[in-house]
Amino acid sequence: MNTMLEPILNEMREEAEITRRVLERVPADKLSWKPHQKSMSLGQLALHLAGTPGRLAKILQQDQFEVPPQNLEPPAPKDMAEVRETFEQSCRAAEECVSGMSEQSARANWRLIAHGKELFSKPRVAVLRSIMMNHCYHHRGQLSVYLRLLNVPVPIIYGRSADESPFD
C-alpha cells in the first residue's frame, strides 16, 4: 500500500459511512422532486453522489480525461435500490483504485480537457482530493438541504443536526 495514500483511503472509508447515512434518508417516493427548475431532481442528485467515487476512480486510471461534448445531465435512478447498489459498487471501485495506486502514479500529473483545451493538469493525488472527495462532500451537502426542504430528518454528518445529536 502506498503510505502517501493511506490517509485518503481512511478518509474515504469514514466519509462513505456518513454518505451512506444521508442516502438512506432519501425518500423513494420523492425521487423526481426538485427544489428549483434549474436543480437536479432528488433522484438525480442521489445517484450522482452515489456514483461519483467509482466514476472518478475509473477516469483517474487514465492520464487524462476529455469531457464529452454532450449534455452532462445526470440520469435519474429507477428506484432507491439502484442508488444503493451504485454507491456500494462505486465505493469498492474507488477503494481498489486508491489502494492499488503506486506513489509514482499518485504523483504523476493528470489532465482534464474540454473541447480540446486543457482545463488543468495536476498530480493525481490532488485530483483525488479535489474532485473525488471534495466533490462528493459538496453534493452530500446539497442532498442534506434537499432532505431538510422535504422535512426529512437530517442525519448526523459531522456533529449534531437539528434532528439528531451524537451527544444525547
Over residues 29-84, the pLDDT tens digits come to: 999 999 999 999 999 999 999 999 999 999 999 999 999 887 778 999 999 999 99
- Mean pLDDT of the region 107-134: 94
Q: For residue 37, what pLDDT is reported?
A: 95
Task: Inform me whether the pLDDT recorded for 7 exceeds 60.
Answer: yes
The structural domains of the chain, with segments of one domain joined by +, span: 3-149
Q: What percent of the chain has pLDDT over 90?
A: 88
Say how far apart CA 148 and CA 82 lie, in whole Å.
Answer: 23
Q: What integer best gives the mean pLDDT of the chain?
A: 94
- Location of C-alpha cell 432528488: 42
Cell numbers placing 109: 500529473
**Residue 1: pLDDT band with limits 50, 70, 90:** low
Model confidence, pTM: 0.94
Q: Where are the alpha helices (DSSP H) in 61-109?
A: 80-99, 103-107
DSSP 32: T
Cell numbers placing 99: 489502494
Q: For residue 157, what pLDDT is reported?
A: 95
Options 1.20.120.450, 3.40.50.720, 3.40.50.300, 3.40.50.2300; CATH of 3-149: 1.20.120.450
* Bridge partner residues of 121 (DSSP): 111
Per-residue pLDDT tens digits for 134-161: 999 999 999 999 999 999 999 999 989 9
Residue in 142, 2, 134, 3 with CA at minimum distance from that of residue 74: 142
